[in-house]
Amino acid sequence: GSGFFISADGYAVTNNHVVDGADKVEVTTDDGKTYSAKVIGTDQRTDLALIKVEGGSNFQFAKLSDGKPRIGDWVLAVGNPFGLGGTVTAGIVSAYGRDIGETFVDYIQIDAPINRGNSGGPTFDIYGRVIGVNTMIFSPSGGSVGIGFAIPAALADSVTKQLISGGKIQRGYIGATIQNFTSDMAEAQGLGSQKGAIVSDTVPGGPSAR
């Protein structure tokens, strides 16, 4: 797996699936030094984890950007594919806000090659800002085919700040089931345009029901 420091005192971001079920966590930095680390907190729903390296300080770190990348922007994916060590691949942002069925994350789609071991590594823009966290790929073969996904940095920043503070991850909750508003529905309602959505159900006792 991969990860990156977000503070000089050793806090680092990675994926939840990298550390999930681990008996111990070790971090090897680019200079070849190995450190013990402990898991500070995880969030399975965004596949993020925060770890803290022990026995070191003054680490070089990268800040999570609050900017939104543009489709076509160049990106660099950094990580540890197949255990080779620090490796960088280049590509562009292929799409933004990609919903691939995972809860609570609208992914950045990139075509920079991501392979096994890249999970948790940073996605940089050309200005050296971390715009995402490498997380997964679509692949019929198990290898990179140029469709990779990164968790947006703004979401990673929000989750890690909550984990550092020791709190639970808080999310907005509507408690309603929404379905697509089709042209047939619009016609049946006597509406001139197909805009909006249909609330098909509410959770009993939830915010929408109230």
Supply the residues annotated as catalytic. Answer: 17, 47, 119
* Gap between the Cα atoms of 136 and 153, Å rounded: 15
Please name the residue ranges forming H helices in the chain: 16-19, 153-164, 183-188
- What one-letter code names the amino acid at 194? Q
Q: Which two tokens stand for residue 118?
A: 């890249």
Place of tokens 């060590």: 85
Q: Say if residues 102 and 119 touch (Cβ distance below 8 Å).
A: no
